[in-house]
Structure 1
Amino acid sequence: MKKAIIFLIVLFSQITKIYAQDLASNLSISWELKENNYEGKSQFLASFIISNRGEKSVDLQQAKLYFSYPRTVVSVATNNAKFENLSGEFCRISFGDAFKALAPKASITITYLANGKSMNYTDAPSGLYLVFNQNLSKTYPIKNFKVNAIPAQEKASLKLSPEKVFDKNKAIADIPLTQLQPILPAPNVYQAKTGFFKLNGLVSLNFDADFEQEATFFNQEINQLLGKSLAINNQNGEAQIVFKKIVGLAEEAYQIKVEAQQIILSATNPKGIFYAVQSLKMMFPVNSWAKKQNEIVIPCADVVDAPRFAYRSFMLDVARNFQTKQQVLKILDLLALYKINTLHFHLNDDEGWRLEIPGLPELTEVSAKRGHTLNDKENLHPSYGSGGEVDQFPGSGFYSKADFIEILKYAKARHIQVIPEIETPGHARAAIKAMDARFEKFKIAGNLIEANRYLLRDTLDQSIYKSVQGYRDNVMNIALPSTYNFIEKVIDEVAEMYKTAEAPIKTIHLGGDEVPAGVWQKSPAIQSLMLKENIKNYDDLWYYYLAKANEIVKSKGFYLSGWEEVAMRKTKLDGKAIYIANPDFTTQNFHAYVWNNVWGWGQEDLAYRLANAGYKVVLAPVTNFYFDLAYQKDADEPGLYWGSFVDIDKPFDYNPLDHYKTAKEDVQGNPLDTNIFKGKERLIDFGASNIVGLQSQIWSEKIRGPQELEYMLLPKLLGFAQRAWSKTPEWVLTENKVEADTAYQKDWSWFVNILGKRELPRLSHYAGGFNYRIPTAGAQIIDGKVVANIQFPGLKMMYTTNGVEPNLKSEIYTAPIAAKGIIKFKVFNAEGRAGRTVEIINP
C-alpha cells in the first residue's frame, strides 16, 4: 500500500510537471504601451496580452507570473488580476476567477496604470516566468514574449526623425583620409613628414633596460600581426624600432619620431613608452588586425604628447548584470589602446556580489546567484530580467580569487590601475543577504559568536524605508561592530589579492551613495549608539559612519573614495533641507566621484562646490559620461534616459573646468535654457587644482551580455578618451562665439571622420572585434529630392525606393534621390554589419 501511494504521488507530480510545461509553452505574452501622459498626468497606460496558442483551455488561476519591471504600477484596470511589487524590480501578477478557463486561441488583456512614462523598449517588462501552485519551487520561462510596436498616436513623440539626425550631421565635412591626423586621442603635436617606415620581419627591436617589459609586450603584439617576432637588440639591422629612455618628461609623456629606416619612441617612464606604443599602433593601417600581414606601412611623422588629466577612468558595473573574466580582459585591451589608465570595478550592489572573499563563502554561494526565491536564503531573487532559473548568465556569476588576480596582472601589464568598489552602507542588499545566510548557518551550529561576527543588520530593526531602486532591506546597520568587521575583512582579503598580483592599489572605493530617508530610525542598536556617542539627529549618523570607515581604510595604507555623498553634509536653510560641502573631511584626502549635474535638477555646480571646498573630485557627470544612457530619444534605441541622452557628441563636447559653457541639451534632448546656470558656483583656481580627472561609467541594469555592453560603450568611449587625454581645445579657450563655433566644427569633423575611416574599421577586428553602434542615417527633403547624410563619413549608406529593407546589394547613396514614396536608408560598415533602418516619405 505504501509503495502504491508513493507511486501515485510520483505519477501525479510527473503529470503536473508535464501539464505545467505544456501550459507555459502554449502561452504567448506580449506587452504594449497604450498612452503616455494619460489623463494629462505623469503616468502611462500599458497592457499585457496573454494568448493561449494551444488546443486546450488554460487555468491561469493555478499560476503566478513573475518578471522584472522598472515602473511603479498605480492600479490595474482588469478585474481579478493583482499586481505586486515584491522588492526592487521583482514583480508578480496573480490571476483570479476570470482567468480560470482561457480558451484555445483566445487572449486576455491586463491593462494597468503606472507612474512616469515609457519611452523605449528598455522600459518593457523582462525575464517573465510562471510558477504553479502545485510546485512553488519550479519555474517555467515564457519563451514567447514580445514587445509590440508603438501605437501610432505615441510614435511621433517617441521616434527620432531622420530630419533631426540630418540637421545634427549637416555641418560635418567629409575629410580625405590622407588629410586626417591619425592618432586618437589627438596628441599635443603631430607633424607629418614625407615617406614611410616598413614594419616587417627584417626590422629589429632595440630598447633600454628600463623598457624591457613594454618592448616585450609590443613584440608579442607584432608577432600576432606579422606571424613572427622582431629580432631583439640587433644594432646592425637595416631598419630599427628603438625604445629610448630620456630625462625630464612627465610620467605619461612620450615622443615619437618615425623615419624611413628608424622609429624612435622616447620617454622617461615606462608608462610613457607604453602610450607611445599605443599611438604608434594608431598609425598602422586600420586593417592590420583583420588578418596576418606581410608588412605594415607607417607614415613618417614627429609626435610630442602628454595627457591633460592624470586620472582617466572607466567604471564597469558587473553587479547588476555580470560580465565574464574574458570580457573584462577585452575591455582592458580597449582602455589601454585609448590611454585610459583606470578601471573602476563596481563589484557589488543590491543585485549581486561578484568577487570571491576567502572566509566568507556565502558572498558568492548565495549572493552571486539569482533565481526564483521569495526569501533570498539560497540565492537572490531575479532582477533586471534575469529570470527564474538559478545560475543563468548574466544574472549570476562571480570572479574567483584566481580570476581577480589574473585581471589585476593583465591590467598592470597595460599600466591600468584597478580600483575596487565595495558598496557600503547602502546598495548592500547582496552582502546583507549573504551574511544573513552565514548567521543562520552558525546559529544552527550553536556558535553565536561566529554567527554575529559579520552580521550586517540589526535583527530587531523595524525601520521603514525605500531606496531609489525600490528596496526596503539594502542598508547595513552602522551601529553594529560586525558591520565594520565585515568591511575590514573584505578590504584585507582584497588587499591580499593585489599583493599577490603585485598590482598597485592606493584607494578603496566604498560607494556611500543613495542611503534612503527613514533608514535606522527604529533600530535599537542605532538608538543605543546615538545615546552613547551623543548624536543628536539621524543625519549625523552618516558622519559617524564615514569617520569609522575612514579609520579602517587609512589603517590599511589607503585613502577613501566614494560617490559625492561622502563629501556632503545635510543641513537646513530657512527650514528646508540642503546639502553643503562637509567641512569634517576636507583634510582627509577623500576622493569624491560626482555624477549629479543633471541640467535643471539644481545640482549643476555640485562638483565645483566640492572642489572649491577642498575635496579631491573626479568628474563623472551623468549628462555626458553615463554610457548606459540611450544614444538618442528614439523608441527603438536601447538604454535608460533619466539623466540625459548620451550620444558620442556628449563626451566629446564636455568642458571639464566650465561645463556650463558647452552644455547644449536638457534631459529630454531639447535645446537647453542656459538661464538655469545663473547663480551657480564656478570653479576657482584652487578648486581646479582639486579636479583629479574624469570618469565615464556603464551601469548594467539593462545590459545583458558583452554585445550590449560594447554597443553602449562604443563609440562613446572614444569621445571620452579625447576629452580626458588631449589638451584643452581651441573652441573652449576662444571667447569669440563665431570663432569658437568654427574651431569646434573643424575639431568635430576631424573626430567623426577619424572614427568612420580609421577607428571603427580598426575596432571591427582589434582584440577580437567589438560590437560598436552603427548610427542611423539622416535624411531630409530639399527641393523635392531626398538628401541624406551620416554621422561618421567613411561608412556606407544604402537605400531602397521599393519598400524593402536595404542590404549590401541595394543602391549606395551618392547623390540626392528624386524618387517618390517611401525611401529607406541603412548604414553599413565594411564587414556588412548595419545600424537601424530609417525611412522618409517623399510626397
Structure 2
Amino acid sequence: MKSLFLMLLATTATFFAKAQQTELINKISVDWQLHQNDYPQKGQFTASFVFKNNTKVTVNLQDWDLYFSYPREIVSITTENATAKAHGGEFRQLSFIKGKSAIAAGQNFTVNYVAKGKSMNLTDAPSGLYWVAKNNAQTIVNVTNLKINLGKKHEQALMEQAATAFVKNKNVSALPANQLVKILPTPVSYQENAGTFTLTRSTKLVFDSVFAQEAALFNQELNVLLGKTLGIAKGASSNYIQLKLVQGLPDENYQLSVTKDKVIISATSTSGIFYGLQSLKMLISPTAWAKKQQQISIQAVEVKDAPRFGYRSFMLDVARNFQSKAEILKLLDLLAFYKINTFHFHLNDDEGWRLEIKDLPELTQVGGTRGHTLNDAEYLKPAYGSGPNVTKAPGSGFYSQQDFVEILKYAKQHHITVIPELETPGHARAAIKAMDHRYRRLMKQGETAAATQYLLRDTLDQSIYKSVQGYNDNVMNIALPSTYNFIGKVIDEISEMYRLAGVPLKTVHLGGDEVPKGVWERSPAIAQLMQQQKIAAYDDLWYYYIGKVNQLLKAKNLQMAGWEEIAMRKVNTADGKSTYIANPDFVNENFQVYVWNNVWGGGNEDLSYRLANAGYNVVLSAVTNYYFDLAYNQNANEPGLYWGGYVDTDKAFYFSPFDYYKTATEDASGNVLNTAIFKDKERLTAKGKKHVVGIQSQLWSEKISGAEAMEYMLLPKLLGYAERAWAAEPAWSKETDSVKSKSHYFKDWNQFANLLGQRELSRLCYYAGGFKFRVPPVGAVVTNGKLKANVQFPGLTIKYTTDGSEPTLQSKTYTKALQQFSEIKLKVFVGDYRSKTVCIKRP
C-alpha cells in the first residue's frame, strides 16, 4: 500500500511539474525580426528570434525544442546559443544549447542567424511555431504570441507603395452607371434600352423541357433573392422569363432579351441557357443578395454572346492546405457565375492526400493527416504552418467518396467539368509514406505479396536527390509494377465515383512536374529496368514512364493530361549544353499539356508557343499572369509568393493569349521589363494557334491557410481571368500601333475597373454567402504639402483619420486633396469590407 501511495505521489508531482513547465513556456513571447537582405553577402539575409520571458521566474529554453515552418534555409546561427535542423520541406527545428539558454524574468533572449535567399514580405516569415518538451515529446505547446517585425524600412516602403499605386490608379476615372456594360465577362454585343423588367414573386417561368434542370436551379436562386420560387407556366402574355430552345447556335452561345414585359433567353444547348441566366443575374442590383427582395428591377437590354475559348479552367490545390467541401461548393458557385467551365482539382502532393480511396485507407489516414512527428510513420510532418495538431485543418482533412460524388454532381449541375489531378511520379510524398505504412503493416502479418502490391519505392534505393521543395523522398519508383498497380487502382476508384455522380470521366491529369536530378540513379529496380528495356540514359527513363502511364490511361479510354514536362525532351546542343524541345514521340497522342513556365527572363518565355506549334494541345497557364498565389504587389504587408513575379487583377485582365510578349510589363522582381528578351523567342504560328485549347488560372496553397486566405488571393484576380477566357479578343490586343493599342487598353481597363468598383465587388459581399475578397489599398501621394488619394476601382469609398486611430465606416470620407495633417491613415471600403491601412506622414 505504501509503494502504491509513493507511486501515486510521484505521478502527481510529475503531473504538476509538467503543468508548471507548460505554463511557463506558454508565457514566452516570440518576436521574429528581419534585419537585412543581401547581407553578409548577396543571396543571404540576417534575421533573429527574440524570446521574452513574461513570467516572474527564470525559464530555461534548453528543456524545449522549437518547431516551425520556414521557407528559407538557415545557414548559420551567429549567436552560438542554439542549433538549427531541417526535417525536409519547410519543417525546421531550433534547439538551445545547454548552459547558454536561460532567460531571467522579464528579460529577452536573442538567436541571430543567416539564411539563404531574401525575405521580402509576411509570407517569408516563420509560421506554425510550437514547443516540444525534451523530456516528454507528448508535451506540446503552440506559440500563440508570435510577432513579425519586417524592419525599420518597412514604414517607408509602405508609403512608396502607396505612391506607386497612386500613379497606376490615375489611368482610371469614374464612369456614369449608364455607360457600364453590366455583364462580366463582356458579351459579344450589348445594347441597353429604355425601361426595366420588374421581377416579382408573381413572375412566371416558362421553359422548353430540355432546360428543366437549368430552370430548377435558377428557381432555387430566385428563392434566395425573393423568398419564393417562381410559378412555372407553359406560356404567358406578360411578366415572364422564358428559356427558349432555338436551332443553330453553337455550344455555350446564348441570346438575352430583356424588355418591360418579358425576359427571353435563347440557346441551342443547355450550357448556353445556363450562361444566359448568369448574365441575367448580373443585371440584378449587386446588393439584392443582401436580403430578401419584394421586387427586382432589371435593365432592358439586348445581348448576343459567345465564348472566346471553349476551355476556361481554374485549378485549386487542396493538398498543401485543405479546403472544406462547403468551400468547394461555394467556389463552384463563383466559377459558374463568371462562366468558368472547368475545375482542375489538385488532390495530392508531397504534403497531403485529400481523396478517400476505400481499398487504400492509408492514403487519407496517413497522407491526409499532418501533426508533430519526425518519422511520418503514422501521419505526415507539419508543413506550411499547419502545426502539431493532427485533427486540425488546413493541415489535415480529406473528402470522403460521398463528399466527392456530391462535388461532382454539384459541378455538373453548374456546367463545370472536374478534372482530377493525381500527382505522379514526383510530388508524391504523401502517397509514398501512406503506402510505406501499408507495407509495414502487412509485412508484420507475413503478407509479403499484399504488402508490395502498391508499394511506391524501391526499398533498396540509395539515390540522393533534393526536390525544389526540399524533399529527398517524394518520387515514385517507375520501375516497380506496384507503382502502376497503385495508379491504376486510384484511377479505377475515381472513375467509379464519377459513375456514381452520373458524370463521365474523360481526362485525368497525372502531374509529371519537377522530378529532381539524381532520382532513381542508385535504385537496383531501375538498373534492372534499364537493362531489360535497353534504356541507355537516366533522362530516357522519363519517356518510358510517360509512355507507360499513357497506355494505362488509353486502356481505360481516358485522355492523358499533365504539366509541361510530359511533352518535353532533353537534348544536347552542339556546344555540349542541354536544352529542352517538344518531344516528337507523343505529339499524336492527344495529350493535354498545361504550360505554366513563362517567367520573364527565365529562358522559357516561349515554351507554350513551342509546344503548341509542335502540335501539342496546350492550356496556357502562365505563372506571370495566372498564378494567383503570387502576391498582389511588393508591399511587405501583402501575403503571397513572388518567385514568378507579382500578380494583381490587371495582369490577369491584360494577358494576351496569342501574343503574351506584347503585354509583358514587369520582370519577376516587379521592375520594368526589358522586352529585348523576346527578340529571338518563338512566336505562335497559325498551326500553333489551333492547338491552344484555352487558358487556366491557378491557386497553389502553400501559403493559403483557410477559406478567407484563399478568397483573398483569388478575388478580384479571378474576374480579370474570367474576362480574358470568355470575352472576344480586344482591340488593344490586335492593334499593331503601340499608341493606339495603349489607348484602347486604358479605355477597356477603365470600363472593367468601374464595373468592379461600382458593381461586382459589392455583389461579392453577398453572393453565395459572401466572399472575403481583397479590397485594394488606397493610392496616395503628398505633393506641395497636399495629400492626394485615389483607388484602383472607381466607386469604392476612401475613409481617413488624422488622430492616429484606425479609419472606420463612420470616419470622414475623402473627397478632395487634404492639407492640414501631420499623419493621416486611409482605408478603402466596400460595404463592411475594408483594405489594409495606409499611413502617410507629412515629409
TM-score range, shorter chain: over 0.9
Cα deviation, residue 144, structure 1: 1.6
Q: Deviations over 1:112-138 (max 9, x none)?
A: 001110011111101111111221233
Could you tell me which residue of structure 1 aligns to residue 826 of structure 2? 825
TM-score (norm 1): 0.98
Confirm or deny: 8 A CA contact 1:208 1:243 kept in the other structure: yes
SS at match of 1:113: strand
User: 2:692 matched to which residue of 1?
Assistant: 691
Task: State the one-letter code of the partner of 1:130.
Answer: W
Deviations 1:499-536 (A, max 9, x none): 00012321100000000000000011001001111111
Equivalent position of 1:570 in the other structure: 570
Say whether 1:743 aligns with 2:750.
no
Amino acid at match of 1:280: L
Paired position in structure 2 for 1:676: 677
**Aligned residues of 2:322 and 2:396 also touching (Cα < 8 A):** yes
Structure 2 match to 1:560: 560
Q: Does structure 1 residue 190 correspond to structure 2 residue 190?
A: yes
Instruction: Give the Cα separation in 1 of the matches to 2:7 and 2:472.
Output: 43
Deviations 1:63-92 (A, max 9, x none): 111100000111110213100111110100
Indicate the residue corresponding to 1:50 in structure 2: 51
Indicate the SS of the match to 2:25: helix
| Alpha-carbon displacement from aligned partner over 1:128-158 (angstroms, at most 9, x marks no partner) | 111112212332111221112x322465457
> Secondary structure, in 3 states, of the residue corresponding to 2:485?
helix
Written as runs of structure 1 = structure 2, the 5 A alignment for 1:36-75 is 36-75=37-76
Shift of 1:56: 1.6
User: In 1, Cα distance between the equivalents of 2:137 and 2:10?
Assistant: 16
When residues 390 and 450 of structure 1 are mapped into structure 2, their CA distance, relative to the original with a 3 A threshold, is: same
Q: Deviations along 1:345-383, whole A, 9 cap, x unmatched? A: 000000000000010000011111100001101110000
CA contact (8 A) 1:824 1:837 kept: yes
**Match in the other structure for 1:645:** 646
How far 1:472 moved relative to its partner? 0.5
What stretches of structure 1 move > 6 A for 4+ residues in a row? none
Equivalent-residue separation in structure 2 for 1:295 and 1:535 (angstroms): 71
1:139 aligns with 2:140: yes
Partner residue, 1:344: 344
CA contact (8 A) 1:24 1:141 kept: no
SS at match of 2:681: coil
8 Å CA contact retained: 2:207, 2:234? no
* Alignment size in residue pairs: 841
Q: In the alignment, is the contact (CA less than 8 A) between 2:81 and 2:111 conserved in 1?
A: no
Distance 1:259 1:153, change over 3 A: closer
Task: Please give the residue correspondences for 1:166-315 in structure 2 after superposition, counting only pairs within 5 Å.
Answer: 166-315=166-315
CA displacement 1:619-641 (0-9 Å, x = unmatched) = 00110000011001011111111
* Contact 1:226/1:294, CA 8 A, preserved across alignment: yes
Counterpart residue number, 1:426: 426
Task: Say which is worse superposed, 575-584 or 150-159, in terms of deviation.
Answer: 150-159
Tell me the secondary structure at the aligned position of residue 586 of structure 1. Answer: helix
Aligned match of 2:489: 489
CA positional deviation for 1:755: 0.3
Question: 2:835 & 2:537 partners in 1: Cα distance?
Answer: 55
Counterpart CA distance in 1 for 2:21 and 2:559 is 55
- Following the alignment from structure 1 to structure 2, what is the Cα–Cα distance between the partners of residues 380 and 823? 48
Partner of 2:319: 319
In 2, the alpha carbon distance for the partners of 1:748 and 1:507 equals 35
| Counterparts of 1:466 and 1:98, CA distance in 2 | 35
Please name the residue that 1:414 is paired with. Answer: 414
Give the whole-Å Cα distance in 2 for the aligned partners of 1:428 and 1:604.
Answer: 28
Within 1, Cα distance between the matches of 2:320 and 2:77? Answer: 29
SS of the residue 1:672 aligns to: coil
Q: CA deviation at 1:4?
A: 4.6
Q: Does 1:761 align with 2:784?
A: no
Note the alpha carbon deviations across 1:421-480, whole angstroms, 9 max, x for none.
Answer: 010000000000000000011001110000000000000001000000000100000000
Q: Contact (CA 8 Å) 1:203, 1:237: kept in 2 or not?
A: no
Q: Aligned-residue CA RMSD in angstroms? A: 1.3
State the one-letter code of the partner of 1:32.
Answer: Q
* C-alpha separation in 2, matches of 1:154 and 1:401: 47
The 3-state SS of whatever aligns with 2:579 is strand
Deviations, residues 221-271 of structure 1 (Å, cap 9, x unaligned) = 111111111111242453111111111111110001111111110000000
Name the SS of the counterpart of 1:87 in structure 2. coil
- Rate the CA distance shift 1:667–1:492 in 2: closer, same or farther, 3 A: same
Q: Secondary structure at the match of 1:173?
A: coil
In the TM superposition, what are the counterparts of 1:24-35 in structure 2 within 5 Å?
24-35=25-36
Residue deviations 1:693-724, cap 9 Å, x none? 01001111111100000000000000000000
Separation of aligned partners in 2, 1:391 and 1:600: 43
Contact 1:204 1:234 in 2 (8 A): no
2:106 maps to 105
- Pick closer, same or farther for the CA change 1:179–1:153 going to 2, 3 Å: closer
8 A Cα contact 1:404 1:497, kept in partner = yes
1:23 maps to 24
In structure 1, the residue matched to 2:709 is 708
SS for the counterpart of 2:238 is: coil
Q: CA deviation at 1:675?
A: 0.5
Q: Does the aligned pair in 1 maintain the 2:625–2:651 contact within 8 Å?
A: yes
Unaligned residue ranges in structure 2 (runs of 5+): none
CA contact (8 A) 1:370 1:395 kept: yes
Q: Residue 539 of structure 2 aligns to which amino acid in structure 1?
A: D
Shift of 1:742: 1.2
CA contact (8 A) 2:130 2:388 kept: yes
Instruction: Find the aligned partners of 1:96 and 1:378 in 2 and give their Cα distance.
Output: 30
Deviations 1:308-348 (A, max 9, x none): 00000110100000000000000000000000001100000
Percent identical among aligned pairs is 55
Alpha-carbon distance between aligned partners in 2 of 1:155 and 1:816, rounded to the nearest angstrom: 22
The CA deviation string for residues 577-609 of structure 1, in whole angstroms up to 9 with x for no partner, is 211111110011111101100000000000000
Instruction: Give the C-alpha shift of residue 828 in structure 1.
Output: 0.9
SS at match of 2:212: helix
| SS, match of residue 437 in structure 2 | helix
Counterpart of 2:577, as a letter, is K
Find the aligned partners of 1:765 and 1:98 in 2 and give their Cα distance.
58
Question: Alpha-carbon deviation of 1:783?
Answer: 4.3
Q: 1:745-770: CA deviations, max 9, x gaps?
A: 11000001000111001110000000
Q: Shift of the alpha carbon at 1:392?
A: 0.9
Structure 2 CA distance, aligned partners of 1:244 and 1:521? 63
Residue equivalent to 1:598: 599
AA aligned to 1:111 is: N
What secondary structure sits across from 1:39 in the alignment?
coil
The change in CA–CA distance for 1:750 and 1:153 in structure 2 (over 3 A counts) is closer
* 8 A Cα contact 2:77 2:83, kept in partner: yes
Residue identity matched to 2:185: P
Going from structure 1 to structure 2, the CA distance change for 1:134 and 1:171 (only over 3 Å counts) comes to: same
Task: Confirm or deny: 8 A CA contact 2:158 2:838 kept in the other structure.
Answer: no
* 8 A contact 1:180–1:754 mirrored in 2: yes
CA contact (8 A) 1:351 1:430 kept: yes
Query: CA shift at 1:8, angstroms?
Result: 4.9
1:37 CA displacement = 1.0
Q: For the residues of structure 1 that align with 2:804 and 2:73, how far apart are their CA atoms?
A: 40
Q: 1:397 Cα deviation (Å)? A: 0.3
Question: Which amino acid is 2:259 matched to?
Answer: E
Q: Is the 8 A contact 1:655 1:662 kept in 2?
A: yes
Supply the distance in 1 between the matched residues of 2:527 and 2:157 (Cα, whole angstroms).
52
CA distance in 2, matches of 1:202, 1:502: 34
Q: Is the 8 A contact 1:16 1:134 kept in 2?
A: no
Structure 1: gaps spanning 5 or more residues: none
Do residues 607 (structure 1) and 571 (structure 2) align? no
Matched, 1:580 2:585: no
Partner of 1:797: 798
- Structure 2 counterpart of 1:612, one-letter code: N
Distance in 2 between residues matched to 1:757 and 1:666, nearest whole Å: 31
CA separation of 1:374 and 1:256: change in aligned 2, threshold 3 A: same
